[in-house]
Structure 1
Amino acid sequence: MADPTTDPQQPVPASYAQELAVFAGELRQLRITCGNPSLREVEKAAPKARPLSASAVSEALAGKRLPRLDFLIALVQTLLMLEDGHPVSRDDARVKQFRTRWQELERSRVDARLMPVPRPRLVPDATEPRRTDPDEEHAPRQPDPLSPMPDPTLGTYSANRILKAHSDEVLSVAFSPDGHLLATAGNDGTVRLWNPATGQPARKPLIGHNGIVRSVAFSPDGHLLAATAGNTGVRLWDPATGQAVGQPLICHIGPVWSVAFSPDGHLLATAGSEGTRLWDPVTGHAHGQPLNGHTGPVWSAAFSPDGHLLATTSHDLTVRLWDAVTGQPHGQPLNGHTHPVWSAAFSPHGHLLATAGSEGTRLWDPVTGQPVSEPLNGHTGPVYAVAFSPDGHLLATAGSDGTVRVWDPATGQPVGEALTGHTGGVRSVAFSPDARLLATAGDDHTVRLWRRETGAVPEPGALIQGTEGSAVSEDFASLQKERDGLVLQVARLHAAAELTQDRIEALVSSLYTRLPSYGLPLIGHIGTVFSVAFSPDGRLLATAGNDCTVRLWDPATGRPHSQPLTGHTNSVWSVAFSPDNRLLATAGADCTVRLWDPATGQPIREPLTGHSGTVFSVAFSPDNRLLAAAVGDGTVWLWDPVTGQPTREPLSGHYGGVASLAFSPDGRLLATAGADGAEGTVRLWNPATGRPHGQPLSRHIGGVWSVAFSPDGRLLATAGADGTVWLCDPATGQPIREPLTGHSGGAPSVAFSPDNRLLAVASRDGTAAFASDGRALTTTDGDVRVRLWDPVTGHPHGKALIGHSNSVRSVVFSPDNRLLATASMDGTARLWPLATLLPDPSVATTL
C-alpha cells in the first residue's frame, strides 16, 4: 500500500515545521475531543476503502510529516464517527475545516520545499555526541505528545477481578493487541488465555512447555503468542485456536527469561542466561549473531516503537541499547542502577525508556542515554516490572512488596495510592490497549485486574447511613471517586473484606432501593456501550459494545442472563429483538449482521454479509418479515430473517452513511437517517416496493443520528448533531412544532414510550432527556446531573438524576413502560425506574 503521507525525505523550512506542529496539535486536540480513542481503535474503525494504520496515524498526530489529503479526511471522519456514534460526511463543517487547513499547509510546503531543515531522529549517527549538559541531565521530561495530561484522578485504578487458575507463582501477563485476550504464564508450566471482559477462561490451558513459563508476548497482529519453554526454548502458539505453531525454538543454553516481538512482527527477541538473540518468528531461523555485551544473565528485552532499538537489562547492573537491524551496540551501556535490572519498557512514542531494578525505577532518554529524572522511589523492595499506558501518560511498576504503583512519567510523581491486594510479590504488569484495565501477576498464584476510574460521582456515603452499619458507610464516604458509583464501591469492599457474591448483590439491591435516583449500572462491557434494546416481553435487555460483544441482562435484577455473545470481530453498534421474541439481530463495524436465539445465546445461521461498510443500525418490521440494516456506505439493506437472503437490491438515496432506521408501527413506512452533507436528511421508503415515499426531510444542520416513530404512528422524531429534536407528521413530512433544543453536543438517540406520552432523548453531554408532550424536558448541569424541566414555565421538574459519566449513546423504554434503559461511553448501561423520575402524579400513576 502506498505511503499515506508526503515524501518523508522532503526538507521543510522552520516556519513550515512550526505550522505543521500547530496542525498536528489541532489533530491531537480533535482526537481528545472525540474521546481520545487508542490508535488501534482508530485503525479498526477506519473505512475499508481508506485504511488507517496505527503507525501512520501516530505519525500524523505527532506532526512528523503532512499526511495526504485523502488520509487526513478519512482520519478526521473516523475520529468524528467514533465520537458521534454515526458516520460523518466529507461535507461536514468539521471535515471541511481540516481540509482547508491542509490546503494552506500544502501550499506552504511546496513554496518553501527548497529550504532544508533537518528533522530530529530517534537514532542519531554513531558520531553524534551525547548530551552531557549537567543542567539538562535531570530536567523534567515532557510527556508523549499525542494528548495533554489527564486529570490525575483519571489515572487511578481500583480492584476489578481476581483470576484464579494457576497452581503456582504467576510470572507474566500480556494483553492481545485488540484487548480481547489476556495471556498469563507461570511456574506451573502453563499459559492461560482469558477474556478480560468477563474474567473467564477463553479456552483450555496451553501446555507442553517442559518447565516454567517465564514470559509471554503477543505478536503485533495478534496472530501469534510467544511463550518461553522450560530452560532452553520458546514455543509459538495460535491464540485463536490454542494450537502450537511449528516446533519449539531451542535458542539458549540456559533459561529464557524474556520474549518480545518487534513492532512490525518480523523479529522475535529472546533474553537468556547467556545473552540475547533475534529470530524470524515465521521460519524459526536466527537473525544475525547473538547480542553479546552483558556480563550476567539478561532478564528483559524490549523494542522501541519504531523498531530501530532493542533495550536489554541484566544482572550486571546495566541497561544496553542495540541497533535491532544490525545487532550492534548503540552507544555505551546505561549506568545508574546499583542492583540487578529486571525489566525495561519504551514509552509508546519512544521518548522515554523505563527500567526497573532492585533499588527502584529509572527513566532515560533513549536517544542520549541520559537519565531524565531522579529515580522513582516508592516500593519497599525490588521493582520487578514496568509498563507504559498506551498514551504514555502513565507508568505502572510492580514490586516484591506486593504492590503496584502508577506514576506520571512527566513529573515522576505517583498517581493515586498504591494498588494492594496481592499477598506476595508482583512479577508482571500490563495495560490493556485502551488503558481501561491493568493486569498484574503475583507470587500468590493469582492474576488481578484493575479498572481505571474515569470520574467522580456525588457523595453517596452521606446518603446510606445505616444501610450496612457505620463502618460500611464511612468506607463508602471515603470512596466517592469510583466512576460507577455504588456498585464499584461495593466491589472494592468485596476485594478488601472477601464478601460473597450473594452478599454483594444483596447490598447493591438494598442501596438501589434506597437510592432510586441512581440508574442501576450494568457493568461488564469494556469500552463504549453503543446500543440497548428490550425484548418484546420485557424479560431481557440486550446491550452492544465496543468490546465486540453483545450482552443479555435480566432487567428485573440487573444480573447477566448468560455469557456474552461473541462472534463479531469489531465493535457492535446495534441490537434489535424481533417482534415475536425469537430472534436477536446485531450489527457492527465488521460489516455483518448476525442473528441469535436470545433464549440460548446461540447463533441462528452464518452472518449476513455483503455490506461494504459498518452496519450502524438494524430493525425488524412489525410483521417479522423484514430486517433492515443501515450501512455506512449510504445504502439500506432489506433481509429476509428466515432465509438470510436479501429481499431486493439495497435502497440507495443517501450519499453519506446511514446512521439509523425505524419501521412505522403498521410496517408501511421505513424511515432512514443519514449524514448527507451540511444538512442531514431523513428519507421515507415503502419497504414493500423499495421506492421513496415523498421528499427527503431536511431540517437538521449536520448529520441526523436517530429516528423513531411514535407507537400510534402519528409522529416521527428525528435527532441530530445540531442538538435539536424535530417532531414531524410522517404523512406530510411537516414539523408539528418548533424543535426541542438544549441537548449540548448533539442528540444521538430518541425513543418514544409505549404509551405515547414520553420522548427520551440521549445527549452527548452525558444526559438523558425526557419530553412529555411538551410538558417535561430534561437538561444537564456541569457535573453530569440530569434534571427534569417544565419547558413552558422553565421550572425544574423533580430532583437531580445522577448517572452516566460520559456521553449517552442510546435510550429505550421497557415494553411495560416502567423502566428506561440508557447506554453510554462510560462503559455501562443503566436502568432507571420511571416512577422515580417523574414526580407528576398524572404521569407516574400510569407507569
Structure 2
Amino acid sequence: MPSTPPIPPEEVFTLCHDPAERARFIDLSPTAREPGSRLRVLVAVRADFHGRCAEHRGLAEALGDANLLAGPMSSAELREVVVGPAAAAGLTVERALTTRLVEEITDAPGGLPLLSHVLLETWRRRRGKTLTLAGYEAAGGLDGAIAKTAEDVYGRFTDGEAATARRVLLRLSSPGDGTPDTRRPADRAELETTGTGREEVARVLEALARARLLTVDGTAVEVAHEALLTAWPRLRGWIEEDRDRLRAHRQPTEAARAWEELGRDAGALYRGSRLVTAREHFGAPGRTDDLTAQEAAFLAAGLDALEQEERAEARTTRRLRVLVSSPACLLALALTATAVAYSQRQNALDAQRDGPSRQLAAQSAALLESDTDLASLLAIRAYRTSPTLEATRSLYAAAAVPLERRLTGHTGTVSALAHGPDGTTLASGSHDGTVRLWDTGSGDLDATLTASLTEGPVALSFSPDGRTLATAADGAVRLWDTATRYVRATLPGDSAASVTFSPDGRTLAVGDHGNRLRLWDAALPRPAEAIDDICRAVHRDLTRQERARYLPEQESGGAC
C-alpha cells in the first residue's frame, strides 16, 4: 500500500497565501480515505496549528476519524532516548548528565530538536567514550547549544558572508501572523540575490549545513528545524526587525516568477498600490540587495513604466498650457471640441461593444482569490469577446496565479497527458522518448516507461481499471502493464493519432490521420473492426440546431 511522507500542514497555512488554492489542496487529501484508493496519507500536525485544520470540514473529519495524539514523553522514555542511541554506538552517558537532561527536557516546548542538537555537541566534547555533564555545559546546555553553534559559525564569517547569512536565513523564514514563525523551503537559486555572489552563497550554505543548522537536498534548502528560529536570539531579532518586510516580500517573489514566464510582458508588472508598497519596502538604495536578479528586474521594470507614464502626463499638461496661451486658441479649441465630440461618440460605440468584455474581466478579478479556475475561464472569455485593456490585465492576473505543483523531469516537449481512472496517477509523454507516471497527490515520479522511442507519444489512454496504459508513438500502439511497467502487447499503427478504451475496457479504439478508425480486442489483443471513413459511418453531419448549440460563434460549418 503506497503512502506519502508525513505532510506538515502548517506549511499549507504559512506558505500558501491563496485561500482557494489551499482549499483545493486540502480537499484532495481526504480522497485517500475512499475504499478504492491505494494511497494513504500521513499528516503530522503541530499542536499550535490543530485549530487551523478544523476550519476545513473534510480535513477535520479525516483527523477526527484517524487521530493519534502524540503527548509528551515520560521520564523513562526520555531516558531511553538519551541512553539508547549512545549504547548502540558503544558510548556511555554519565548518570548526572542523564538526570539533568531528563529534568530539563520534560515539558519543554520544542525540546526534542534541542535535545538532538545538544547531544551532538556533547558528543563532540566527550571524554573517551563517555558523554559528560561538563561537555554538556561546555556545549551551552539544552537552551543554549543551538545558539552557541550558530554564533560560532556566524563569528567565523567575513563581513560579506555575515550579510549573506542574514539574507539567506531570512529567506528561509516565514513570519507568523498570530501564529509562531515557521521555516520556508526555498530553491538554491532564490538565495542568490543581487547583493550576493554565487560562490559566497555556496560557502555560507556549506558552513550552516555542516553545523546542521540547514539541510540541503539537491537544489532545495531549508532550516533544519524551527527551533533555530526561536533559540537563536540573533536570528529572532532579525525576524522581528524585518517582520512586515518579510511578509511583503513573498508576493513579489511569485509575481516576478510569473512575469518571467510570460516573457516579461508589461501587462504583468505591478501597478498602483502594489507597486507603491513594493517601492516602499525595496525601492530605497541598498534595499534591492535582498532581491534576486529576477525580482529586482521586475521591480525596476514596474518603476520605469510608472516613470514613463508620469513623464507622458507632464508633457501633455505642458502642451495644453501652451495651447491655451496662443492667440489662435479659440479656433483650436473649436476644432478640438468637434474632435472631442466625435471621439466621445466613438468611445460610446466602443463602450457598447466592449462593455461585455469589461464586465467579464471585472467578474474574473472578483473571483481570482476565491475560485481561481473560474476566474481564469472568465478572463479567457473576456479577452476573446474583445481584447480590451481590462480583459488583457485579467488574463495576465489569472496567468500569474502560482501553480499548485510543478512536475519536472522530462528533457523534451511534453506531447500527451492522461489521468488514471482513480485520479491519483498522471501519465505524461514527451519528445525525450519516455512516458512518466506521476503521483498527483505528492507530485512524485512513480515510474518511467521507456521503449526506445524516437518521437514523443501523440496520445495516451488508461483502461477503466487502470491496469493498462495505451501509448501511440513511433508508428505503433503499445499496451503497458501499469503494475510491472512492461509492454505486454504492441499493435500496428502507422499514423495513429488517438487511442481510447471503451467503458468496459474490452475494446481499444485507435484513430489515425487517414480518417480511419480501428477497433481492437484489448484482452488478446486482435483486430475487432475497422472503419475507413468515420463521417461515412456516422451517416450524417451536425444539424442547424446542433451547430447553434455547440458552435455558437461559427456561422457555418459542421463536423465532417
TM-score when normalising by structure 1: 0.25
Q: Which has the higher helix share?
A: 2
Which structure carries more strand by proportion? 1
Whose Rg is larger?
2
TM-score w.r.t. the length of structure 2 is: 0.33
Which structure is higher in RCO with an 8 Å CA cutoff and minimum separation 6? 1
